Amino acid sequence: MTTVHHDPFLEVQNHLTKAATRLNLSGVVTKRLLVADNIRNEKLKIKTEKGTVELDAYRIQYNNARGPYKGGIRFHPAADESEVTALAATMSVKCAVVDIPFGGAKGGVVCDPKQYTEKDLEKISRAYVQSFLPYLGIDVDIPAPDVYTTPQIMAWMLDEFEKATGANSPAFITGKPVALGGSLGRDTATAQGAVYVLDEYLKLGDKNATPLRVAIQGFGNAGATVAKLLVAKGMLIVSVADSQGTITNQAGLDVFALERHRVSGKSLNEFVSPGENDTYSDSTSVLVTECDVLIPAALDNAVTQANASQIKARVILELANNPVSSEAEAILIEKGIDIIPDVLVNAGGVVVSYYEWVQNRQQWYWDEQTVGERLETKMRKAFTEVLEKKTETTSYREAAYELGVSRLAQAIKLRGNF
């Protein structure tokens, strides 16, 4: 089998083109959907504790037809232009799918944050804001956390922006600590949104084997939170993986003990469990574990042409961004496996980021119950609207893209800004 070169942005463009074709959009509107508004690259020169380094940094502003650019910033060695552009395009669609008034953007710094001290990370965070300052702002482009960035990093970025502008501007960035205007419920929003989507999916037809067995790739904040939420609903977490290894037990893992272990800074393959039937394997074997629901919650391109045929799950819930390649998706659909796409599943994070932005702008803060109820309403409605677009011959991803692209196209046409 020949290996297919993986170009993340090309994959997203293919999804956009298919949706545009099904919607009979004009060539002019389609072109606007396929090209980023602005691709911004900067070099961050940082004096670290080990010496001076120069880091590549990006801010891709994809589309703002429906509102200000919105999207996270990741600190990751693989945060190249194609990946960040793909994520920015996906954000544009995602915000439209859940019908919040934002466009799509994404940022990245090419670095491994594990190699830097906290002081170094603060310098990188502040340098990022300084470098992109002319292009960021409350009504322009609102950053947020992403892979390996945290509420603390958002706090440094907010402080740098406020120093530069001389004004208190909590709505400049989301995913902040609550003490600086962050929203209650933001830390669990991505996972909680995914659980509402899965809940709606499971209402369709005969899908309720009891108890459902779930495998989760990635045991960071989103993966660990979704594990705890699903256990609370009576499901069994039978396999979890981090970048070092997979731990599996078909009778169910103790996810609370696993999370305590993770928070202590250790990898899963160092976990010593009271469950004598726990088995350990390499980090990719979680994908081919015997289970009902597979949740990729790590990085993109996890499920590929190479491993798709071995997947035994009945449904894949994409908590990560772009985790299933197009070639893999074709194989999985042929096998009768449903894939609920990232542009719907993981939108809970940006929904509550939107709520955070609204609260900051009004300086009127909601309690956690209010945030949770509004998130639940939004996510269940979005699933229903995607389902309405789905036909016998279209996948969930095609239906979601059709919904999102139709809303984007409507805004583009109304503006006439070709």
Task: Provide the 3-class DSSP secondary structure of residue 401.
Answer: helix
CB distance 107 to 61 below 8 Å: no
Task: Provide the 3-class DSSP secondary structure of residue 42.
Answer: strand
CB distance 268 to 242 below 8 Å: yes
Contacts of 363 (CB under 8 A, 6+ apart): none
CA separation for the pair 387, 338 (Å, rounded): 13
Taking Cα atoms as reference points, which of 24, 38, 28 lies closest to residue 106? 38
Taking Cα atoms as reference points, which of 238, 237, 242, 298 lies closest to residue 268? 242
CB distance 194 to 317 below 8 Å: yes
Active-site pick, 18, 45, 47, 106: 106
CA separation for the pair 304, 327 (Å, rounded): 7
Contacts of 24 (CB under 8 A, 6+ apart): none
Backbone phi, psi, residue 361, to 5°: -70, -35
CA separation for the pair 203, 213 (Å, rounded): 16
Greatest Cα-to-Cα distance within the chain, rounded to the nearest angstrom: 64
CA separation for the pair 394, 219 (Å, rounded): 31
In a 13 Å sphere around the CA of 345, the CA atoms on its Cβ side amount to: 27
In a 13 Å sphere around the CA of 48, the CA atoms on its Cβ side amount to: 18
106 as an active site residue: the answer is: yes
Backbone phi, psi, residue 39, to 5°: -115, 110
The DSSP letter of residue 318 is: -
Beta bridge partners of 61: 38, 105
Catalytic sites, residue numbers: 106
